Amino acid sequence: MNLTLKIWRQKNANDKGKMVDYQISDVSPDMSFLEMLDVLNNQLIEKGDSPVAFDHDCREGICGMCSLYINGEAHGPDRRVTTCQLHMRMFKDGDTIHIEPFRAKAFPIIKDLVVDRSAFDRVQHAGGFISVNTSGNTQDANSIPISKHAADKAMDAATCIGCGACVASCKNSSAMLFVSAKVSQYALLPQGQVEATDRVLNMVQQMDDEGFGNCTNTGACEVECPKGISLENIARMNREYLSASFKG
Amino acid sequence: MALDSKIPQGPLADKWTKHKNDINLVNPANKRLIDVIVVGTGLAGGSAAATLAELGYNVKAFCFQDSPRRAHSIAAQGGINAAKNYQGDGDSTYRLFYDTVKGGDYRSREANVYRLAEVSANIIDQCVAQGVPFARDYGGLLDNRSFGGVLVSRTFYAKGQTGQQLLLGAYSAMNRQIGRGKIKMYNRHEMLDVVIVDGKARGIIARNLVTGEIERHSAHAVVLGTGGYGNVFFLSTNAMGSNVTAAWRAHKRGAYFANPCYTQIHPTCIPVSGDHQSKLTLMSESLRNDGRIWVPKHKKDVEAIRSGKLKPTQLAEEDRDYYLERRYPAFGNLVPRDVASRAAKERCDAGFGVNATGEAVYLDFAAAIIRYGKEKAHVKGLNENDDSLVKELGKEVVKAKYGNLFQMYEKIVDENPYETPMMIFPAVHYTMGGIWVDYNLQTTIPGLYAIGEANFSDHGSNRLGASALMQGLADGYFVLPYTIGDYLSEDIRTGAISTDSPEFEEAEKNAVENINHLINNKGTKSVDSFHRRLGKIMWNKCGMSRNEKELKEAIEEISALRKEFYKDVLVPGTADEFNEQLAKAGRVADFLELGELFAKDALLREESAGGHFREEHQTPEGEAKRRKEFQFVSAWEYKGEPKDALLHKEALVYENIEVKERSYK
Amino acid sequence: MSGILSSSIGRKFAMAISALFLMIFLLQHFAINILSVFSPDTFNEVSHFMGTFWVIQYALQPVLIFGVVFHFVMGFVLEIKNTKARQIKYAVNNGGANSSWMSRNMIWSGLAILAFVVLHFIDFWIPEINIKYIQGDMSGMHNGEFRYFHELVEKFHSPLRVGAYCLAFVFLALHLLHGFESAFQSVGANNKYTKGLKNFSKIYAIGIPAGFIFIALFHHLNQVL
């Protein structure tokens, strides 16, 4: 199929940037979206133009590196997939596809479609861990039984790949889904209880300092999340945060 | 230089304990005076960085991704082995050791493997303490599954995302240290060289991938946890960015490269769909717990299926060839990866491949769906003979176990694997070979360590499923942090290492020249086009089965391709900006050298062992035939061109395990 | 309190609490207004009680005003902060694919409601204050009978006003359709009752504004037909 691509081009962080049109032909429906961009880039390189920069790595939907806003949706129109798993069979011959970077003040653009998501890392530095040193002498893994229900819920929260689709989709650029997934994972497990109060207060503080917006419960994040992280986690974090605040 | 593996004396089971008691320690106050560089933040690098920082060393960690959490360990699906014997099925440290050595086709180092088995149980304890949400049963205890090549259930898992959860565990441990300032994290940085001062590794040259700036970083020791080099095949299950550059540049500075030809071809990957393909996707080996692998028995059915006239579900049981169950009744669909891959290739080469390219076999869950459905119906007290009900219930069970994998398959292939068998084909997945290390995980360069997939030591010529995660974390959490102390204990009075020395100067100049050459070459062909061509040569001539003639051809072709690359490669843009093509060009240049050494190593190894299959050396039934005279590690010393690499041999001695014909029948 | 209001979750909690308070007020307001349909006398008595009982006038009324002002001001503050969190807008944004119109346009439905509240103050509240506290007439009487019912009916004479009134309540319904459910999420409610609460919130969000519209139309039609 033949497609028109409208792609955000921005030379570097200080450049103003603009949408640029490209034509691409002979796209196979079995291609992944990124493979389609590979083809475009190869054409650009061989013509002497500069290829479109975009983040990608594992190309199997788990590393969280790819981050494109396609036709007005994070990771494009398909559900429960990352951009790398989006296939061209989702589009029709003659379509025009808009490709933009994930936009948020807290995700400054590095080049073209590549953004800096280190704000996510800094939120994790503030408390996304359980303070246990490595030693050969931690207690036996089976010494604390954890109900299957809690373990499964913790796992569901821990599935977050940190791609930032939640922030990109949120009309407020809020990072609540991302932060709450980590807070929830530990809140659901007995190992996470000791530091629960400090964890949620510190992580939320850092989230706010990074310049993410406020959650208004639109639910867009949950819909666009490639891993289906549930809004339940946000409710849980609200609860954890409020009880931690009142504890002081 | 003679290779000294520094294996401690004494009985196998006591070696590690005794060694830990014997080696030197660095006192806590002195650790604060010592810097360690860790390159790569996957399971090995991440866990090492966190642990070293906990111990008190000043750690600088580097990764080329935008966050340490994205290292490719994250993509490991199935699980992690540990000799916990929670299932009471007779597992033990010895049995895990035995299975791993046998699985590696007697080409791994006994003492290293035993240590790996020994610390495996600690890994699970450590990860649970970190909050890794492993799967649990209804009693709240940890659940296990079974993997290929073993007869016990010792694999711990977190749905189909075990690697992700373990990596996030290590990442969380790193985060705690980054927050404390004990780890300084350098994201989007690529190591370009290791700097040797007075014979010791004292730092690295790195490129900031955002600004293009070349940076000097010094330390008292350098640790490489930079993963494997499967991307030399272009198409593999590795991430697009996975590369050999750090390891190869270390090799060029004097680190021996061991067993480069040992590559794992994983049997259950989604087949190639066309020329546009940029990578291959693995379907977890855990699927072989329940899926049955088959091709049609008769050619006419193959034709009918390929032309779309016949659906696989329409083929009667007696017209199917469950070739693994037929050839290996004891292990059936759970034979080790090398065996399963070769068997698939054998059937496809014989013309029984089931897709248009003739390179796919079926992985079928119909039987498992019925079996689980009946079980569930029985438990629920429903009619076990109601076919549609049983199917529905069975699908639910299969969905709970493998839902995310099935969904992934459907998204890529556009077929519903609950209704029709999946198509799979082997693909390059893991490299057992890597930088040669001694028992302390130190390379032949003092102060340079290699851990995880980047080293060579634990998996011999074939890695068993769920062992890579185990090895990465064992090295990073429980081995390196001890052994590196022995080396660093001599550095407590060294003081900070200056980056102004001539050695740093030279290394930086070298890196800049390489980059400028690539940028200024202004050829006509893209980096990717060379990479694809290299991959084709590797897959066709150094892939699942190899022979002398083709290996010799491969060496010539790769060498010629490398010359062409330096003459005709086109790298757009400049060196001082975010330039993915430039980064990639550097990586492909290294693959073009490694590929040739790979073929040279495969040519040397005139035997079949594990993932290395030489057509000249097989049993009458077509199984791999090992040769006693090749019971050694081939460690290559860099001497300029790959063809000039100098071979060193480390003899492999098996004192605690009988070297036998490997049989899974 | 100021500590908690400086955090994003604290602010959203405050929005939720003020919203829940306003919704209780709204229910109470509705309960009294609907009396005007069934029994003008009861309506008059209850209105007189509400208008003169000191606890309501001097304690609850200021709290209510504070609640209204707080909710609006905080709403604007959040809107400004949220707009700042994305400085360059998307060229194409398909918000409809992942969220409801109501949830994305709370600021607009909120502004419509604010406009109505202003009108309502001018219509009812300011004259009330004038009669009771400036003229000092706390009797609630006019021409020998309670004035409340008459005043109410009179206001619903003009079709323009009734139209504006109805439109405002449509906006209120849209606002509540997202807002009520959202308030539960903001205070962290998430358990086996959540689904029931959500259904209840939908019934409330449509039922109460519909009720107000019914009252308006009832009195209007009674006068014109």
In chain C, domain spans: 2-85+105-224
Closest chain A residue to the Cα of C98, Cα to Cα: A220
Ranges under pLDDT 50 in chain B? none
The secondary element (H helix, E strand) that includes residue B629 is none
Q: Pick the catalytic residue from B337, B342, B347, B463.
A: B337
Regarding chains C and B, contact by 3 or more CB pairs under 8 A is answered as no
What are the b/e assignments for B217-234, b being 16+ CB within 10 Å?
bbbbbbbbbbbbbbbbbb
Topology (CATH level 3) of domain B500-628: Methane Monooxygenase Hydroxylase; Chain G, domain 1 (1.20.58)
B157 vs B286: CA distance, rounded Å: 10
Mutation for testing the C interface, residue in A176, A179, A215, A216 having most C CBs under 10 Å = A216
Q: Which residues of chain A does C106 touch, with a Cβ-Cβ cutoff of 8 Å?
A: 216
- CATH 1.10.1060.10 fits domain A117-131+144-247: yes
What are the b/e assignments for B401-420, b being 16+ CB within 10 Å?
bbebbbbbbebbbeeebbeb
Q: Which residues of chain B does A120 touch, with a Cβ-Cβ cutoff of 8 Å?
A: 67
Q: Which residues pair with A115 in a beta bridge?
A: A109
In chain A, domain spans: 3-111, 117-131+144-247
pTM over 0.90: yes
Q: Which residues of chain B does A34 touch, with a Cβ-Cβ cutoff of 8 Å?
A: 278
Q: Cβ–Cβ of A171/C82 closer than 8 Å? A: yes
Q: Given this model, what pLDDT does residue B292 score?
A: 96
B115 noted as active-site residue: no
Q: Cβ–Cβ of A72/C90 closer than 8 Å? A: yes
- CATH 3.10.20.30 fits domain A3-111: yes
Q: Given this model, what pLDDT does residue C194 score?
A: 86
What backbone phi and psi angles, to 5 degrees, belong to B632?
-150, 165
In chain B, domain spans: 267-427, 500-628
Q: Which residues of chain B does A39 touch, with a Cβ-Cβ cutoff of 8 Å?
A: 276
B544 vs B215: CA distance, rounded Å: 40
pLDDT tens digits for range A56-83: 999 999 999 999 999 999 999 999 999 9
- Is the pLDDT at A175 greater than 90? The verdict is yes
First to last CA, chain C: 54
Q: Given this model, what pLDDT does residue C1 score?
A: 43
Q: The domain C2-85+105-224: what is its CATH number?
A: 1.20.1300
Q: Cβ–Cβ of B67/A53 closer than 8 Å? A: no
Shortest CA gap B269–chain A (Å): 12
Cα diameter, chain B: 81
Residue A114: name the closest of B179, B163, B209 by CA.
B209
* Percent of chain A whose pLDDT exceeds 90: 96
Q: Given this model, what pLDDT does residue C82 score?
A: 97
C204 vs C197: CA distance, rounded Å: 10
CB atoms under 10 Å from CB of C96, counted, come to 10
Q: Which CATH class is domain B267-427?
A: alpha beta
Mutation for testing the A interface, residue in B31, B175, B208 having most A CBs under 10 Å = B175
Does A218 reach chain C within 8 Å, measured CB to CB? yes
- Pair of tokens at residue A102: 């994930």
Token pair 């691409």 is found at A24
- Is the pLDDT at A248 greater than 70? The verdict is no
Mutation for testing the C interface, residue in A6, A172, A246 having most C CBs under 10 Å = A172
Q: Which residues of chain A does C4 touch, with a Cβ-Cβ cutoff of 8 Å?
A: 245
Q: Cβ–Cβ of A192/B131 closer than 8 Å? A: yes
Q: What is the pLDDT along chain C (225 residues), one digit of tens a residue?
A: 457 789 999 999 999 999 999 999 999 999 999 999 999 999 999 999 999 999 999 999 999 999 999 999 999 999 999 999 999 999 999 999 999 999 999 999 999 999 999 989 888 889 999 999 999 888 888 888 899 999 999 999 999 999 999 999 999 999 999 999 999 999 998 888 888 999 999 999 999 999 999 999 999 999 988
- Pair of tokens at residue C25: 């007020």
Shortest CA gap B108–chain A (Å): 25
B65 → closest Cβ in A60, A65, A145: A65
Question: Average of pLDDT values for A149-166?
Answer: 97
A104 → closest Cβ in C85, C98, C189: C85
Give how far the C-alpha of residue B531 lies from the chain's centroid of Cα atoms, to the nearest Å: 20
Q: Which residues of chain C does A215 touch, with a Cβ-Cβ cutoff of 8 Å?
A: 8-9, 12, 186
